């Protein structure tokens, strides 16, 4: 793909992923499947890797895709809540495993895995003080989420 076509496709993918993310995260009305969205994001990531001069700071490859909704108290996360890394092939899984093994070896730690089927849903940060639940906040945009007071018991 030449640079002009790549720039055009990256701009189109940025528009599409932002639109579909808004429908999913903000409107709670997804219009495409998670797989279809993931494939758009994967194409965008690959094109940005090949043509880094066209990466926009507003690209969803550069930030978490949610927004903070009105009507809830805002919570600033002490540690940013990021998205999970998607893996779509055995090669990507092997690369991930090798990277984790290297980190574990460098830190003289044993590597163990727990693998579960992905269940899409709300990402939350649960806070406890002295063993008691004090707050449940959504991921929001990764830096600021919403205090979901209805979670308090």
Q: Residue 121's pLDDT is what?
A: 62
Q: Residue 151's pLDDT is what?
A: 46
Catalytic residue among 57, 108, 112, 118: 118
Q: Residue 153's pLDDT is what?
A: 47
Q: Residue 64's pLDDT is what?
A: 66
Q: Which of 51, 28, 46, 39 is nearest to 138 (CA)?
A: 28
State yes or no: is 118 an active-site residue: yes
Q: Residue 66's pLDDT is what?
A: 64
Mean pLDDT, each 10-residue run in order, the chain (153 residues): 95 95 84 92 94 93 71 81 76 90 91 74 80 84 75 47
Residue 90 CB-density burial (10 A; 0-12 exposed, 13-18 middle, 19+ buried): exposed
Residue 93 CB-density burial (10 A; 0-12 exposed, 13-18 middle, 19+ buried): exposed
Alpha-carbon span 128 to 130, nearest angstrom: 7
């Amino acid at each position: 793909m030449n640079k002009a076509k790549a720039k055009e496709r990256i701009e189109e993918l940025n528009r599409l992923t932002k639109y579909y993310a808004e429908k999913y995260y903000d409107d709670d009305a997804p219009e495409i499947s998670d797989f279809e969205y993931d494939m758009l994001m994967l194409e965008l990531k690959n094109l940005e890797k090949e043509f880094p001069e066209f990466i926009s700071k507003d690209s969803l490859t550069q930030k978490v895709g949610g927004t903070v909704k009105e009507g809830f108290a805002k919570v600033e996360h002490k540690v940013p809540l990021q998205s999970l890394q998607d893996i779509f092939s055995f090669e990507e899984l092997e690369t991930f495993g090798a990277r984790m093994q290297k980190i574990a070896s460098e830190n003289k730690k044993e590597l163990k895995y727990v693998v579960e089927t992905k269940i899409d849903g709300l990402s939350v940060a649960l806070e406890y003080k002295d063993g008691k639940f004090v707050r449940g906040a959504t991921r929001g945009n990764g830096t600021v989420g919403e205090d979901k007071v209805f979670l308090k018991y």
